[in-house]
Structure 1
Amino acid sequence: MEDCRQNLEKEVSLMKIGIMTYHFCSNYGAVLQAYALKRFLEARGHHVEMVDYRPPNDSGALGHNLRLLLQEGYIRLMNRYSSFRLNGKFADFRRTNLSLSSMHYNSLEELKRACPEYDAYICGSDQIWNPHGQQFHEPYFLTFVPEGRRKFSYAASFGTPVLEERFRAPLQKYLQGFSGISVRENSGVDLVRDFAGKHSIQVIDPTLLHDDYSELYKNKHYPANYLLVYRLQQSAPLTRNLTRLIRHVALELNLPVYSISPQRFRFFLETGKTVYPTPAEWCGWIANASFVITNSFHGSVFSILNRRPFLSFPRVARDGQNDRITDLLHDFSLDDRYILPEEIDSFRIDTLAAYQENLIRERLSAQRHKAAEYLQNQLEMDVK
């Protein structure tokens, strides 16, 4: 009887949890995946904070050399201006919805010197393990956490299906002491196994854990009918083709176009009317759209969650770099929503298959169960 009581107490014990992720970016997917994981854990009674770590080079500050800024040209200058319009809105969302740690950190040394106190530390999601061709960013492997503390990843992403050999030793070193490793893409499972010799599992992006985002935008107002474009920065050839697709669909559906982009540096002129929503309003723009066109993983995620008609377009031309979008679409039997540049001229809206509602519900339920089980096991596991 005593053992049963102890097991029950263990199952319902609440924890103070710290999340290490890209919460500071003026990027809708980044802040909303942080919000979703926080909400998921809070719904189970835990107290959750974002470790307020911000690398110095990601502060989003305006360059000091005005002459160089002006030399960038009108489009870049206006894009810098638009980023400032967005930064304040993202900062307000973080303050209101993300429960930032009381201390602010700018370096690994600061994290080690004044390590925030939590019962469990989680790194993820988003591309926190992307070396960007240079090196891993060590704090996102929780190396500042004292030995013996509970730490694990949730849906961490490398942002690439391949790594150079020089990343083998750092990855092996940084993943020591993890009680569990989960990654967002199937390719990440292969990288963890092949480079670090460790077991990991693939789990869904945190934004798919949370079902109803209307809590964020229920008092907002949107146009009656519109085509929403949410696109991230890409190469000039892909940008031209994406613009061609937007015009093709807008003409076929006879819809006005509203365009959103969080990029600080944009090398294209927006198609349609540009809007600058808060992260909360962004959810509503997708939920209320008549049609969505996006080259973003999270743009595709929120289109699926809201069952919006949509098309996904490649963001980069390199093989394997669009896997997270194509894998997502394949998981929900929505492969026909992915359109390539050479398919634009012959594309027709009425060729898109309808959502298979039962299939989507079943697969989403199964993936959520897998993720919840992983998180529960990690939080209940004895730390040695």
Structure 2
Amino acid sequence: MKRVGIMSMQRIANYGSFLQAYALKQLIEELNCKVEFVDYHIGAPIITENADSKNKYIRKIEKGLEIFKYQVPFAHKLSFIRYKQSFAKKYMPFLGISDDMNYNPTLDCLVIGSDEVFNCIQKNSNVGYSLELFGKDNHAKKLLTYAASFGNTTMDKLKKYKKDDEVGTLLKKFDAISVRDTNSGVIVEQLTGKNPVYNLDPVLIYDYVNCCDKIPDIKTNEKYLVLYAYAGRISNDEANWISVYAKKKKLKVYAIGGVQKCADRFVDCSPFEVLAYFKNAEEVITDTFHGTIFSVITHRQFTTLIRKSVGNSYGNEEKLRDLLERLGLADRMTTKVEDAEKINEKSIDYAKIDKLLKAHRTVAREYLRKNLGK
């Protein structure tokens, strides 16, 4: 049995990061491989302007204090803090992850991805600039990626900070490269001269709804709208509009993933329960990549809010536009939350979407089988 490592964003307390890591683990285990998650050493961030504190304890305190600035019920704030503090202890065991770090193990193969593992030109001190995410110093016989993304890192940024040659040299050492978006594909092509394989995020490839036995049935005595967004990203004006809209539709607002001013309830639940809440929701409004994916795999009516990148600020436009265009759902995105009223009225041909996903799942499994199978 082959020993395969996955290097991803698996330790981040985030539903999307967890579910993509769990999905990729399941897909690789289907190939009769023994899977373990591999850690990387965090480097100093390239962008130091307004960067987070390097000290993880100070950073946690800063993040905790930031929550109390939001105009949300005090009980929601406390629930959110408990959710963040208990995430690792509750859910990392599902991935086979302990508190002990697993650096540079000897492997038959190391798979880097999915998620924004190549997003190296940024200020997030949780990740920083780590060349191990590009395969440096690995102890694997074979090295590949699955649906890796550069996120907001562009070729221009790599050149601006003079990291293009270093990154390109490491990328050329991969045995196979799979990316999830056009920006990442263009960078790989320019730095290596090779065409990468395009694969969708593992949450779309692993059939959670039909194959995962950990998703419970959620019963509520009220109809609700899921608002899936990071705390602090939904503006007061947007929250006010969502509150009025939900009342007009006679829906409660369930905030998942982050506290929100307009929420009737902040839902602290497991990653698998997140999919159950999505499945039973009347509608979804989200401004995240995985919130969009959760909506698709549970066949919801949804609106995706696009945030444009300005300077070194973090936006989501590139990855969300790419994702929705690949799925033929570009009409679900907008920069104005008010558009959600008309967008969520438009039905989605999920039979067509499922047919498309079936084809992508075949391609993805073939890529993994070819590179990991016997």
Please give the range of the TM-score, normalised by the shorter of the 2 chains. 0.7 to 0.9
Measure the CA separation in 2 of the matches of 1:168 and 1:18: 26
Alignment of 1:74 with 2:68, yes or no, is yes
Alpha carbons 1:172, 1:197 under 8 Å: kept? no
Alignment of 1:243 with 2:243, yes or no, is no
Please list the CA deviations of residues 172-229 of structure 1 after superposition, one character each: whole Å capped at 9, or x if unmatched. 1221321001111111110111234333122100111111345223255445421111
Q: Which amino acid aligns with 1:136?
A: Y
Measure the CA separation in 2 of the matches of 1:304 and 1:73: 29
Quote how far apart the aligned CAs of 1:149 are: 1.3
Measure the CA separation in 1 of the matches of 2:286 and 2:263: 13
Pairs within 5 Å for 1:145-224 = 145-146=138-139, 149-160=141-152, 162-163=154-155, 164=157, 165=159, 166-213=162-209, 215-218=213-216, 220-224=218-222
Aligned counterpart, 1:31: 18
Measure the CA separation in 2 of the matches of 1:206 and 1:346: 27
Q: Which amino acid aligns with 2:21?
A: A
Aligned counterpart, 1:139: 132
Please list the CA deviations of residues 259-318 of structure 1 after superposition, one character each: whole Å capped at 9, or x if unmatched. 1234xxx7x635322122221221211111111111011111011101011111113454
Structure 1: gaps (5+ residues) = 1-13, 106-110
Structure index of larger Rg: 1
Measure the CA separation in 1 of the matches of 2:327 and 2:63: 44
Query: Which secondary structure state, in structure 2, belongs to the residue aligned with residue 26 of structure 1?
Result: coil
**Could you tell me which of 224, 227, 234 is aligned with 1:226?**
224
Shift in alpha-carbon separation, 1:223–1:231, aligned structure 2, 3 A: farther
Alpha carbons 2:79, 2:266 under 8 Å: kept? no
**Could you tell me which of 271, 292, 296 is aligned with 2:284?**
292
Alpha carbons 2:331, 2:343 under 8 Å: kept? no
Aligned counterpart, 1:99: 96
Shift in alpha-carbon separation, 1:220–1:87, aligned structure 2, 3 A: farther
Shift in alpha-carbon separation, 1:220–1:45, aligned structure 2, 3 A: farther
Pairs within 5 Å for 1:359-378 = 359-378=352-371
Shift in alpha-carbon separation, 1:229–1:99, aligned structure 2, 3 A: same
Measure the CA separation in 2 of the matches of 1:346 and 1:293: 7
Aligned counterpart, 2:301: 309
Aligned counterpart, 2:264: 272
Quote how far apart the aligned CAs of 1:79 are: 5.2
Query: Quick check: 327-336 or 305-314, which moved more?
Result: 327-336
Alpha carbons 1:17, 1:49 under 8 Å: kept? yes
Query: Which secondary structure state, in structure 1, belongs to the residue aligned with residue 255 of structure 2?
Result: strand
Alpha carbons 2:242, 2:262 under 8 Å: kept? no
Query: Which secondary structure state, in structure 2, belongs to the residue aligned with residue 217 of structure 1?
Result: coil
Shift in alpha-carbon separation, 1:245–1:128, aligned structure 2, 3 A: farther
Measure the CA separation in 2 of the matches of 1:102 and 1:64: 19
Measure the CA separation in 2 of the matches of 1:307 and 1:159: 26
Query: Which secondary structure state, in structure 2, belongs to the residue aligned with residue 31 of structure 1?
Result: helix
If the length of structure 2 is used for normalisation, what is the TM-score?
0.81
Query: Quick check: 323-332 or 166-175, which moved more?
Result: 323-332
Alpha carbons 2:205, 2:361 under 8 Å: kept? yes
Aligned counterpart, 1:10: none
Q: Which amino acid aligns with 2:18?
A: V
Measure the CA separation in 2 of the matches of 1:206 and 1:122: 13
Question: Among the aligned pairs, what percent are the same residue?
Answer: 26
Measure the CA separation in 1 of the matches of 2:300 and 2:56: 35
Query: Which secondary structure state, in structure 1, belongs to the residue aligned with residue 58 of structure 2?
Result: coil
If the length of structure 1 is used for normalisation, what is the TM-score?
0.80
